[in-house]
A = this chain, B = another copy of it.
Amino acid sequence: MKRQILLISCLFISAALDATQVEQYSVFELELKGPSAGNPFTGVQMSAEFRLMNRSLFCEGFYDGDGIYRIRFMPDEPGNWTYITKSNIKEMDLKKGSFTCVAAASGNHGPVKVRNTFDFGYADGTPFYPVGTTCYAWVHQPEELVNETLATLKKTAFNKIRMTVMPKNYDVYINNEPPFYPFEGSKDKGWDFFRPNPEFFRNFEQKILELQKLGIEADVILFHPYDWGKWNFDKMNTEQAVFYLRYLIARIAAYRNVWWSMANEYDIMRKTDQEWEKYFRVIQSYDPYSHLRSIHNGMEWYNHSLPWITHLSIQTAYLEDIQDWRELYRKPVIIDECVYEGNVPNDWGNLTPEEMVNRFWISYCRGAYCTHGETYIHPENILWWSKGGKLYGKSPERIAFLHKIMTETPLEGVYPHHSIWNKETYLIKDNEFYLHYYGNSQQAKARLYLPKNIRFRLEVIDTWNMTVTPVNGEFSGMIEIPLPGLPYIAVRATALNGNK
């Protein structure tokens, strides 16, 4: 076969590296020129196989408009990677090349995976403790507001954000037109779901990179029911939806901070289980990196034991069920909605900040993670939960405090427990670590049953006032210590060195 010489330019996200180097867990991007006639989104197939030693990963490319095609790849190991393209367009077929992947720089830990059955960790082994927030349609807001959202996020400890690909129309709270539409066409003329709007997706992926800079995982919600006839973006048929998924995967799977949230309140969309399965199988087939996958319930319950579900993304009012779900599914549990801090009349949006923080602590001490959202009535109708902007609540800094406590918990062997009346929740590592959380009760004393032959140091944690107060002395066996007699107190017992 005779090969034509074609301009192949390699672009790197990190400008600091030279053109033949790419950082581990960052993006190698191959740009090719090709046809723009017909429908290049569907008429042109184009992919590449990337190889390091005896391992190869397959990546689909995507059409980015103006005759430009791109293949994005995230190398997960340092070394000399080679690639070869495949296309039904001769000029883009069998293009070969190579690049050097260098070790990740400090602060780049790779994508997040499941760790120890119930927890999360980055690819490089660093534990990841999710403390998420919810800004469903923040990318679909005016630039100024988007930048304000990013500036707000920067000041918090939130390290995961739930966000929708499609714009959102919901109740009185959000119904603005987005800066870009995801497809060619219009509501009136109809959308051509086989012609994505590259500008829309460029904007979307750029936001994911902004989040990456802030160390925030993008929990990307692929489908949601909050359209209600405004745009009909929720009206793709199966073939269109599969095309959309493959296009999105080709564009953003190479970003290390992507998680796939199949749908928000999936059951409201009235798709069949078979349809959801098809979409999960598309993700499993076309995402070379196996990013985390979940599906978020409304009132109905998904079968989270299915193999494509990596973790539970739950909406619930019943935090008491967490331990059962852990045991049943043997997967991490994230309580992605347990009502938001705010004061709207809707019953999903008016927790006190105290109760929002309380639910984070209860979830954590029951062996799960929790997600924040904020819905305070706003004069310009900018509610964080849907549009971003500023945070007005009191829970974010307390959630940051909890995140610090999480980082001080032993990495392995910790299990949740609770008192018989479900009022107290505990994280325990036998003989080493006991974190007792007392919720909204007001006991003036804590009674602990510590191992008799091991000495512990104790700290009283005020989860609301964000203080950690050591208790004088060393403790063993059944003990009582005074508490402030206020709600939202925890006690942490840590075995002293040399006692184990």
Contacts and interface: CB of A to CB of B under 8 A. Distances in A.
A59 interface: no
Interface stretch (A153-161, A235-243, A341-349, A360-368): A341-349
A89 interface: no
Tell me how many chains of this kind the complex includes.
2
Interface stretch (A29-37, A306-314, A439-447): A439-447
A345 B421 contact: no
Interface in A481-500: 485, 487
Contacts of A213: none
Nearest to A346: B447
Interface string A346-364: 1111111001000000000
A420 interface: yes
B441 A487 contact: no
A2 to B, nearest CB: 66
Specify the main secondary structure of chain A where it touches its partner. loop
A483 to B, nearest CB: 8
Contacts of A487: 352
A234 interface: no
B317 A347 contact: no
A348 B441 CA distance: 10
Most buried by B among A317, A440, A442: A442
A400 interface: no
A347 B442 contact: no
B317 A421 contact: yes
A444 B355 contact: no
Given A345-B480, A420-B347, A421-B339, A444 B485 contact: no
Given A320-B318, A343-B485, A447-B345, A352 B420 contact: no
Most buried by B among A419, A424, A443: A443
Contacts of A96: none
B320 A443 contact: no
Interface in A424-455: 424, 438, 440-447
A187 interface: no
B347 A421 contact: yes
Contact of A377 (B348, B440, B444): B444
A446 to B, nearest CB: 6
Contact of A420 (B299, B318, B441): B299
17 contacts: A318-B422, A339-B421, A343-B444, A343-B445, A343-B485, A344-B443, A344-B444, A345-B444, A345-B445, A345-B480, A347-B419, A347-B424, A349-B443, A350-B442, A352-B440, A352-B441, A352-B487
Given A343-B442, A344-B445, 4 more contacts: A344-B444, A345-B446, A350-B441, A355-B441
Interface of A: 299, 317-318, 320, 339, 343-352, 355, 377, 419-424, 438, 440-447, 480, 485, 487
